[in-house]
Each structure stands twice: as structure tokens, then as C-alpha cells.
Structure 1
Amino acid sequence: MSLDGTYDDGNIFAKILRGEMPSARVFEDEHVYAFMDVFPQARGHTLVIPKHSQARNLLEEDPQVLAPLILGVQRVARAVRAALKPDGLVITQFNGQPAGQTVFHLHFHIIPRWEGVALGRHAGGGMADPAELKDLAAQISAMIA
């Protein structure tokens, strides 16, 4: 999918927001929803999405949505750092299929990194164990300030 198009309210993140699909919730407020990536690139890979948006990517999003969204990303990233003690964090966001975007609902990835541990391929690894994701979500959630 290119940078232009119509929002598909049948995408997996829209279904998660509507409660039609399960997720390992990390954090939620009136603006954002954060949950564990089921195809993680690293242990603790967390996604943050806007709750009230039909933007497919960053370029389509309304500035009034972006401000609380990026604050939510920062808040969750701090909690990932506190909970998992990584050596670094990758915070990334893809726009369009050629850039690596696989779900066309605006979202940010928070990926913990440790020295000497290889990073998995985006959307290329196997599905994580739901029980492990739930445990990681609880660890990170406990550190939300």
C-alpha cells in the first residue's frame, strides 16, 4: 500500500481497539493504547497507537492527535526502559508498505535493545507466546508513571 489510500476499519489495530481481537495491554488513556507486538523484533517490543484516529500513517494525522500520542509514546518508552533495563531503545514508525509498514493504522514501535543481541526482522519472526506477552505487559505497565 502506498502513502495514499482509504483507512480500512477492518485492520487488526482497529479490531483491537474495538475489543474484537485480543491484545496484551500495557497502557491506555483517553488518547492512546499501548500493547505488546505479537510478532516482536525483541523481547518487550511494544506498540503505541492513537485511539481516536483513522490516519493510516504519520503524514495523514491531525496535529491535535499527534501531541498526546507522542507523549504516550514517551511515557511507555520510559516504562519499557524501567521494567526491562535495555541498553538502548529503538522508537520507530513506518509510512507506507515500501517503508516497511504492515498495518495501516498509525502506530509507533518501542523496541528494547541489548548489546550483543540481534534484532529480529520487522513482522518476520514467529508469533510470541501469549502468556509471555501478558507477563511482559504487566512488568512494563507496573512502571508507568
Structure 2
Amino acid sequence: MTQDATPAGQDCIFCAIVAGQAEASVVHEDDTVVAFMDLAPVTRGHLLVVPRTHAVGLEDLDRATGAHVWSVGHDLTRALRRSTLRCEGINVLVCDGEVAFQTVFHLHLHVIPRYAGDGWTLVPDTAERERALLDGDARAVRDALASRG
């Protein structure tokens, strides 16, 4: 588990929802995940897809569960587009770690319907990076991929 790990069942609201011990407006559940409406939505229809197994971040999630979280999220994007909520776009987002804006330390996929003029923005302060620096970053990631067990 990562540094910010919350043991399953110990004050984890998502573990409580998965266990049926806390309220949620559930839209989908199966043996692997539960998907429900975000209590503090960015926009109307904002959904969360949460694995039943407690995992703080992506590093703690097994590959099969991660693929299923994404698959259910994909199905939910289709459902949102076909629903009477009439969204015009969708953001799919994982916040992994406190510096990445994660506030509940049980991995979850945000599926956020977007509407013209909804007021929510992602405006990064970006600058083009030199090729040599990009190549060095790519090498670091390749090395990490090669060393995984």
C-alpha cells in the first residue's frame, strides 16, 4: 500500500458504501465494482466507479480490477450520453495521490458529464519541453517498465 493508505474498513467511506453500511445512489454494481453518484458533484450526473477491494491508488490495484474499473467507466460514459441528462462531453479522471487532488484514499474513477457553460475548467500552466528532456523522461519510464516484477 502507498504512504497514504487507509486500511480497508477503517474510516474509508467507499469501503462503507461497498459494504452497504453507508448510503449511496448506486447506478451499477457487480462482483468487482460499485458505481454511484458523487455526493459533491462537479456537474449533474457525476459518477464514481469504485473497486470493492480497498486500493489506495493505481499501484495498489491489480490489473484485472483496473481493467474492469475502466470498462465500467466506459459503459457509464455511453449511458450518460444516452440519458436524459443530455451531456455534451465527458471527462474521465483518476486522482492518484494527494498532490494529484485525491481526497478519498480508495481508488476511484470519476466519470464527469460536461455541459456548455458548466463552469468547471482544467487549465494547466504548460510549456513545451525540450526533446532531450522528453527523451530522458521516456528512458526513465521505459527503465521502470523493464524492471517491474
The verdict on a shared fold, with TM-score over 0.5 as the criterion, is yes
* Runs of 5+ consecutive residues of structure 1 not aligned to the other structure: 122-145
Structure with the greater relative contact order (CA < 8 A, sep ≥ 6): 1 or 2?
Answer: 1
- TM-fit CA distance, 1:48: 0.5
**CA shift digits 1:25-54 (9 cap, x unpaired):** 111112211000010110111101111x22
Structure-1 residue corresponding to 2:105 = 104
| Structure 2 unaligned blocks of 5 or more | 123-149
Hey, what does 1:15 align to over in structure 2?
A: 16
Count residues with an aligned counterpart: 118
The reply to whether residue 92 of structure 1 matches residue 106 of structure 2 is no
Cα offset, 1:120, TM superposition = 8.1
CA contact (8 A) 1:40 1:120 kept: no
In the alignment, what sits opposite 1:69? 69
Tell which structure's C-alpha radius of gyration is larger.
Answer: 2
Tell me, yes or no, if the aligned pair for 1:42 and 1:120 is still in contact at 8 Å.
no
Separation in structure 2 between the aligned mates of residue 81 and residue 4 of structure 1, nearest angstrom: 37
Question: Hey, what's the Cα distance between the residues in 1 that align with 2:99 and 2:5?
Answer: 17
Secondary structure, aligned partner of 2:17: helix
Q: Determine helix, strand or coil for the equivalent of 2:81.
A: helix
Offset at residue 6 of structure 1 (A): 3.0
Cα RMSD of the aligned pairs, angstroms, is: 1.7
| Structure 1 residue matching 2:35: 3-state secondary structure | strand
Judge conservation of contact 2:56–2:107 (CA < 8 Å) in 1. Answer: yes
Instruction: Give how far 1:59 is off.
Output: 2.1
Q: What amino acid is aligned across from residue 58 of structure 1 in structure 2?
A: L
Quote the Cα distance in structure 2 between the aligned partners of 1:71 and 1:22. 24
